[in-house]
Amino acid sequence: MHFLKCLEFQLETTLVFDAIAFSYWNNQDYDNASVYWLKTLEIKQQNQNQHQVKGTASI
C-alpha cells in the first residue's frame, strides 16, 4: 500500500529519497545511501512501466 502512495506522489517521494540518500552519503554511510537511490530508481521504473502499459492498452 505504501508503495502505491510512492507511485502516486512520484516526484515528491523521489525528492525525499534523494535528500535522505545525500544525507547518508555525506555521513559516509554509502550502503544506506545506495539503498535509497535504488528505491528512487525502482519508483521511476514502476512509473515508466505503468505509462507503457497504458500506452499499449489504448492502441
What does the alpha-carbon distance between residue 25 and residue 41 come to, in Å, rounded to a whole number? 17
User: Per the structure block, which three cell numbers stand in for 27?
Assistant: 555521513
> Residue 14's pLDDT is what?
83
Q: In whole angstroms, what is the distance from residue 17 CA to residue 8 CA?
A: 15
List the grid coordinates of 45: 521504473
- For the chain (59 residues), the mean pLDDT of every run of 10, in chain order, is 63 85 93 89 82 66
47-53: long-range contacts at Cβ-Cβ below 8 A with a sequence spacing of 24 or more?
Answer: 47/7, 47/10, 50/7
